[in-house]
A and B are shown apart, each in its own frame.
Chain A
Amino acid sequence: MKLPLLCVAALLLSGALSCAAQTDAAFEGRRVRLLDVAAAETEVNMMTILAKLHTGRDLPRAYAMLDSMTHDRAMGGMFYAYTLIGTYLHTRGQLPDSLHRKIREAFQKRTMYRGDTENHWVMYYTGMYLAAQTWPNEPGGQWFNGKSSDENFAEASEWLTHWMRMTTTIGQGEFDSPTYMTVFICPMLVLHEFALDSVMRIRAGMMVDLLLADFAAEHLNGNYGGGHSRDYPDDITNPLAAPSTMFAWLYFGQPAMEQWNEARYRPRHRGSWETVFAALSSYRLPDVILNIATDRSRPYVHRERKRVRNIIRFEKPMNPPVYKYTYMTSRYVLGSLQGGILQPIQQHTWDVTYSSPRPHNTVFSLHPFASGRELAMFFPEEQKFLAGEVDRYHLVYTNPGKWNSSSPFETVFQHRNALMVVYDIAEGTRHPHADGFFPKTLDERTVDPSGWIFARNEDVYIGVYPLSPYSWIEEELCWRWRSTTLRTGWVVEIGSIDDAGSFDAFRQSLRNRIPDTTGFTRSGSVRFVGAKADTMALDFAGRRTLNGQPVSFADYPLFDGPWLQARVGEGRIRLTDGKRERILDFK
Chain B
Amino acid sequence: MWISKALLLLLLAGAGLWELASAQETLYMSVLSSRRHAWGRNDNPVIGLFVSTDSGKNWQHTGWREYIRMFYTEAGPDDVLWSACGNGVLRSTDHGTSWRVTTGWEVTEVLKLSVDPRNPKRVAAATAYGPILTTDGGGTWNFLLEDLPERYSTDVCVDRTDGTLLLATGTGVYRRAPGDTGWMPTTLLGKDIRVLTQHPAVPNTFWAGTEDDGVWKSTDRGKTWSMSNSGLQHRTVYVIAIDPERPDTLYVGTFAGGVYRSTDGGVTWQQKAAGLSVQDIHALCVLTSAPGTVFAGTLNGGLYKSTDAGETWVFNSQEDAQVWGMSIQRRPRK
Contacts and interface: CB of A to CB of B under 8 A. Distances in A.
Given A74-B40, A114-B108, A314 B170 contact: yes
A140 interface: yes
A144 B88 CA distance: 14
Interface string A95-138: 00000000000000011111110000100010000000000000
Interface in B99-138: 99-101, 104-105, 108-109, 111, 127-129
Nearest to A163: B105
A114 B70 CA distance: 12
Chain A CB count within 10 A is highest, among B88, B101, B150, B280, for B101
Contacts, number: 99
Interface in B25-44: 35, 38-42, 44
A116 B109 CA distance: 8
B313 interface: no
A335 to B, nearest CB: 30
B64 A312 contact: no
A374 B64 CA distance: 31
A72 to B, nearest CB: 6
A558 B101 CA distance: 36
A146 B101 contact: yes
Contacts of A141: 98
Given A147-B100, A380-B128, A392 B35 contact: yes
B143 interface: no
A384 interface: yes
Q: Find the residue from B40, B105, B171 having the highest chain A CB count within 10 A.
A: B105
B149 interface: yes
A111 B98 CA distance: 11
A436 B127 CA distance: 40
A204 B299 CA distance: 41
A41 interface: no
Given A111-B65, A114-B86, A313-B170, A380 B152 contact: yes
B261 interface: no
Contacts of B109: 116, 312, 380
Contacts of A125: 105
Interface in B148-165: 149-152, 154
B171 A315 contact: yes
Nearest to A313: B152
B65 A380 contact: no
A191 to B, nearest CB: 16
Contacts of A145: 87, 99-101
A60 interface: no
Nearest to B282: A382
Nearest to A114: B87
Given A392-B35, A393-B39, A382 B111 contact: no
The number of chain B residues touching the other chain, given as a range, is 35 or more
B299 A385 contact: yes
A76 interface: yes
A409 interface: no
A129 B242 CA distance: 46
Nearest to A120: B86
Nearest to B171: A315
A75 B39 CA distance: 7
A155 to B, nearest CB: 5
Interface in A423-443: none
B199 interface: no
B171 A113 contact: no
A73 interface: yes
Interface in B276-331: 280, 282, 299
B105 A112 contact: no
Nearest to B154: A380
B276 to A, nearest CB: 16
Q: Among A110, A141, A380, A382, which residue has the most Cβ atoms of chain B within 10 A?
A: A380
A542 B86 CA distance: 37
A55 B15 CA distance: 79
Contacts of A147: 100-101
Contacts of B280: 384-385
Contact of A113 (B68, B127, B152): B68
Residue of A111, A115, A147, A385 contacting most chain B CB atoms (<10 Å): A111
Given A73-B42, A313-B152, A315-B150, A146 B99 contact: yes
B238 interface: yes
Contacts of A113: 66-69, 86-87
B218 interface: no
B278 to A, nearest CB: 11
B255 interface: yes
Given A113-B68, A116-B69, A380-B111, A312 B151 contact: yes
Given A114-B108, A382-B255, A385-B255, A77 B86 contact: no
B194 interface: yes
A556 interface: no
Interface in B55-112: 64-69, 86-88, 98-101, 104-105, 108-109, 111
A383 interface: yes
Interface string A321-365: 000000000000000000000000000000000000000000000
A97 B133 CA distance: 44
Interface in A42-94: 72-77
Nearest to B103: A155
A77 B67 CA distance: 8
Interface in B168-202: 170-171, 194
A451 B227 CA distance: 57
B149 A315 contact: yes
B66 A111 contact: yes
A155 B98 contact: no
A146 B211 CA distance: 36
Nearest to A392: B35
B44 A382 contact: no
Given A113-B66, A113-B87, 16 more contacts: A73-B65, A76-B39, A111-B66, A113-B68, A114-B68, A115-B86, A145-B99, A312-B109, A313-B170, A380-B111, A380-B127, A380-B128, A382-B299, A383-B211, A385-B280, A392-B38
Interface of B: 35, 38-42, 44, 64-69, 86-88, 98-101, 104-105, 108-109, 111, 127-129, 149-152, 154, 170-171, 194, 211, 236, 238, 255-256, 280, 282, 299
29 contacts: A72-B42, A73-B42, A74-B39, A74-B40, A74-B44, A75-B40, A77-B67, A111-B64, A111-B68, A113-B66, A113-B67, A113-B68, A113-B69, A114-B88, A116-B86, A116-B109, A121-B105, A145-B87, A145-B101, A146-B99, A147-B100, A312-B151, A312-B152, A314-B150, A315-B170, A380-B127, A380-B154, A384-B255, A384-B280
Q: Which 8 A-B pairs have the closest CB atoms?
A: A146-B100, A111-B64, A313-B152, A380-B128, A159-B105, A145-B101, A74-B42, A312-B128
